[in-house]
Homo-oligomer: A and B are copies of this chain.
Amino acid sequence: MTTIQDVARHAAVSVSTVSNVLNGRTDRMRAETLARVEASIQALQFRPSKLAQQLKTGQTPLLGLLVPSMANPMYGYIAREIESVAQERFGFRLLIGSTYRDREKESAFFEDLLAHGVRRVIVISSLADERHFESAVERGMAVVSYDRGATPGKPSKVGHVMPDNFEAARLATQHLIDKDHRRLAFATVAGMTMSRSAKIDGFFAAAEAAGLRASAQVLDGGALNEYGDSVIAEVGRATALQIAGLPEHPTGIVALNDLMALGLMAGLREAGLGVPEDVSVVGIDGLFLATLSNPMLTTVQLPVREMARAMVERVMQHPGEASEDEREQVFTGVQLIERESVAPPPAASQPRIARRTKPEKAAP
């Protein structure tokens, strides 16, 4: 490995001169010297060791990213967006880790990041409390958390970025109501998180406004196993069976997210229920996969790129630069994308204008 010393020797200058050109302080030397140093750097294929730089400056161009599971396409999608912003705008690389929504694993990851000198972290977690990262913040880390708000009352140094989950679920539910569905359900998994409860609130708000509160219910398909998120679709499948068994089963289902919706559709089909003839389903997320299902999934698109950009910018700014009220950023740009998984319920007494839902193109 070639070092700054080698370059200095090769260019017949001192290490500090080389360091100066490395750090753009080129005004402090003759053009001729600069040229010579640059030539030597080229000739020797010299790359300054970030390790040594970090040790000295305390800064490492690495962004920590903590996701529940890399195998979940939604997180893959978010991660990719985060990566490109971090790389293109700040020259940072990603140090990633799956946590399977486990507190121990999250803490361990934070410890490692700290030890690696990483000072900025984006966390996608739904864990109830975030004390473990509050403490990281205290130790000098900039952290922003996705999809969960600050704990009310407790002022936090952790930044929060999230979609308008309430509105997303409300929109989805309203769409079902507009199609004359009267028996509504929200399909979720075991365990309550902030984003899940916001969605449930949105669901009930829409139902309430339409006077359908009494026939609206929340269905819990069960817990995620060790494998974390890729099995969420399996929970959807289980929920479908549950639905099929209900005496007067709901006809309009809002799913926690697209993966769950996809599982739901598969399960409904297995149970002999047609989508959308018997049951309508709408997802939340806007994954490109929703475009591939049969029927194509009607869903609420979340502004993933915008959120990714916001998270990166937020975590990159100098600590303490954000004012208190900026600590929580809610992205309202959610929109319904009508595809094929929603239709009026089978026995709809007064069918509306049969607006044919046209398939539409691509997504992410």
A283 interface residue, CB < 8 Å from B? no
Question: Would you list which residues of chain A between 60 and 96 have a CB under 8 Å from chain B?
Answer: 60, 62, 69-73, 75-77, 79-80, 83-84, 87, 93-96
Tell me, in angstroms, the Cα distance from A306 to B292 when the chains sit together.
29
Question: Would you list which residues of chain A between 261 and 279 have a CB under 8 Å from chain B?
Answer: 262-263, 265-266, 269-270
Contact, CB under 8 Å: A72 / B76: yes
In the complex formed, the residue of B with least CB distance to A51 is: B117
A103 → chain B closest CB, angstroms? 16
A30 → chain B closest CB, angstroms? 28
Most buried by B among A227, A230, A292: A292
Contact, CB under 8 Å: B71 / A115: no
Contact, CB under 8 Å: B111 / A47: yes
Q: List 19 A-B contacts (CB under 8 A).
A: A1-B139, A49-B55, A50-B117, A62-B95, A62-B116, A73-B76, A77-B230, A93-B96, A93-B109, A93-B112, A93-B116, A94-B95, A230-B288, A231-B288, A265-B292, A266-B292, A269-B294, A270-B359, A294-B294
- What 8 A-B pairs have minimum CB-CB distances, sorted nearest first? A294-B294, A76-B76, A71-B80, A70-B80, A50-B115, A262-B292, A51-B117, A73-B73
Where the two chains meet, the residues of A that have a C-beta atom closer than 8 Å to any C-beta of B are 1, 47-52, 54-55, 60, 62, 69-73, 75-77, 79-80, 83-84, 87, 93-98, 109, 111-112, 114-117, 139-140, 227, 230-231, 233-234, 262-263, 265-266, 269-270, 288-289, 291-296, 359, 362, 364
